[in-house]
Structure 1
Amino acid sequence: MSDTQPQTEALTGKIPVTVLTGYLGAGKTTLLNRILTENHGKRYAVVVNEFGEVGIDNDLVVGADEEVFEMNNGCICCTVRGDLIRIMDGLMKRRGKFDAVIVETTGLADPAPVAQTFFMDQDVADAARLDAVVTVADAKWLVERLKDAPEAKNQIAFADVILLNKVDLVSEAELADVEARIRTINPYARLHRTTKCDVEIAQVLERNAFDLERIIELEPDFLEEGHHHHHDEEMQSIAITLDGEVDPEKFLPWISELTQVQGPDILRCKGIVAFPDEPKRFVFQGIHMILDGDVQGDWKAGEPRRSRVVFIGRNLDEAAIREGFLACAA
């Protein structure tokens, strides 16, 4: 785990939140129980959302010095924001009793409304930061689920980290096939092959995956051109690089309008851009119509001030988006 992590927390003063998602039976509960029982010296508050899956073992949870909160309306979707906001509110009154929060969504849920809560509700946004969306996928059944369950596809598209679980149940050829399918939907997520979710906890929690600086440190080719040639028949990923700076007075209205107009079709967007006379990078990310951006991290001496944006979504007009972004050049 990065040495800078506690300092980052101290600086922002925000509690990191991991959203844990994955289709029914993929292994989310296995992962959660692993997190709760491993000897990592951290304390997690867990928000679970019961929907007919095997529940968390509460005895385990108590023994592991964690706190579990049940969301009461069974399914995380738009109506759940109030529930989540209420729970987060309660948690913030007990700060100091835990190091981070894990929100487990039901297997039928689209992670977007949960993730958006951390930007839309001011009190929540002031107190907590979305650390990463982690998706557990079933290596044996994912390809089938992608055909008949749009939620399964959304869970892959939104992920910052994907655990491809139950790899012991499939052949190497099947594994290559399912990984290729994942990559057509989301070329950017960190992918781990697992059996019974046996992954180092540091690969899942406190990834700072929403901090683009850290993504680039972990995966230097994250925003490189060339990734976006993979195409799902309905899910697209578009990456555009501009060699140079963008004019904030053109770029900010453009990205704002694009996400307002095409928001329902834009699942995720991220980028790092250079503004003239600004020593720091402008880093932004969005979920549907919700955008969040700020200057963070200096451009390093001698580093090309290159501006890069990434969009993952459906029905996106790649040519128009490319043209729009390039027209923002300073």
Structure 2
Amino acid sequence: MDQVPVTVLTGYLGAGKTTLLNRILTEEHGKRYAVVVNEFGEIGIDNDLVVETDEEVFEMNNGCICCTVRGDLIRILTGLMRRKGKFDAILIETTGLADPAPVAQTFFVDEDVRAKAKLDAVVTVVDARNIEARLADSKEAREQIAFADVILLNKTDLASAEELDRIEGEIREINATAEIHRTKDSVVDLSKILDRGAFDLDRILTFEPEFLKNGHVHSHNDDIASISLTAIDPLDENKFNRWIGNVLQTKGQDILRSKGILSFAGQDDQFVFQGVHMLMDGDYRRPWAPDDPRISRIVFIGRNLDVPALKAGFEACRA
């Protein structure tokens, strides 16, 4: 059954999310979007613009969709699914102070939602002028970058080329795998952010074949960092499952995102997984190509990551 793609828009207060959303709702792109908007102490969507489009805007004034009751989001998504055929995709705009994790987790834990909708991508809008100050003082700003599949580095007209390069470097320390697009006034080719399949296991293989080939470690003091590990030898599937299960159970609160492409002994297909906190989804996807080195690669994005312990644990999964 076709699943409706869902894009989660996040970003700190004033980064340009609502500008982007209004563009999506008014541009001639031939698609119809159902929008779940959260009006949590922010200037909302320009209602005049919204009325002129045929979009159905669901505003929830009872607080933030991703940090009050998760059931609220499930109820709204379930209601939207009864109108299937009236729209091509769903957009969820989170509050500027929101952690995107509970929204993402909804697509792991609720079977009804999962059957009908799929998380397509977490898109984070970043304010180039203020992000460095926010990274220094805001846990939420760092988490929004850590969760992103796609990042819009916005307001580029307010920063120099050198500053933008430095900011990109800081973003990469937190999240080594997200796509970054530099924008002004949130102007971006919508195909770069919508219908990306960025959260799809297959996309890790299709769009990220290089998937951190070299295996490197980013560490930025003890805060959020992006670590990638590689194993040249095939892994033992049972050992790996025990290890990753234990890591996510014990450290899952600190591990914001995880993903990997793995070569298990005795299996011709690549095993692909990705996770949010303690929840993980994985499956065999496609055969290893004859000329493709069967190197297992895994990425963790999180805080207070014990790099030597993760490295030793991963290496101990060898067959």
Scaled by the length of structure 2, the TM-score of the pair is 0.95
Deviations 1:254-302 (A, max 9, x none): 1111101001110100001122333322111111111111122332232
Partner of 1:279: 268
Task: Using the TM superposition, give the Cα deviation of residue 69 of structure 1 relative to its aligned residue in structure 2, in angstroms.
Answer: 0.8
Residue correspondences, number:
319
Q: Is the 8 A contact 2:222 2:305 kept in 1?
A: no
Q: Which runs of 5+ in 2 are unaligned?
A: none
Q: What is the DSSP-based 3-state SS (H/G/I as helix, E as strand, rest coil) of the residue aligned with 1:209?
A: coil
Structural mapping, 1:1-330, within 5 Å: 13-330=2-319
> Please, which moves more after superposition, 82-91 or 272-281?
272-281
Alpha-carbon distance between aligned partners in 2 of 1:242 and 1:176, rounded to the nearest angstrom? 31
Alpha-carbon distance between aligned partners in 2 of 1:227 and 1:48, rounded to the nearest angstrom? 38
In structure 2, relative to structure 1, the CA distance for the partners of 1:56 and 1:244 (3 Å cut) is: same
Identity %: 63
Deviations 1:203-223 (A, max 9, x none): 001111112442444344332
Alpha-carbon distance between aligned partners in 2 of 1:293 and 1:183, rounded to the nearest angstrom? 25
> Please, which moves more after superposition, 164-173 or 63-72?
63-72
Q: What is the DSSP-based 3-state SS (H/G/I as helix, E as strand, rest coil) of the residue aligned with 1:79?
A: coil
Task: Using the TM superposition, give the Cα deviation of residue 80 of structure 1 relative to its aligned residue in structure 2, in angstroms.
Answer: 2.8
Deviations 1:223-265 (A, max 9, x none): 2234423535411211111113221111112111110100111
Alpha-carbon distance between aligned partners in 1 of 2:208 and 2:269, rounded to the nearest angstrom? 20
Which one-letter code corresponds to 1:76 in the other structure? I
Q: Is the 8 A contact 1:224 1:239 kept in 2?
A: no
Q: What is the DSSP-based 3-state SS (H/G/I as helix, E as strand, rest coil) of the residue aligned with 1:31?
A: helix
In structure 2, relative to structure 1, the CA distance for the partners of 1:154 and 1:113 (3 Å cut) is: same
Deviations 1:288-320 (A, max 9, x none): 111111122332232222211100111111111
**How big is the alpha-carbon RMSD for the aligned residues of Structure 1 and Structure 2?**
1.6
Q: Which runs of 5+ in 1 are unaligned?
A: 1-11
More helix by percentage: 1
Alpha-carbon distance between aligned partners in 2 of 1:164 and 1:108, rounded to the nearest angstrom? 18
Alpha-carbon distance between aligned partners in 1 of 2:208 and 2:260, rounded to the nearest angstrom? 14
Alpha-carbon distance between aligned partners in 2 of 1:294 and 1:175, rounded to the nearest angstrom? 38
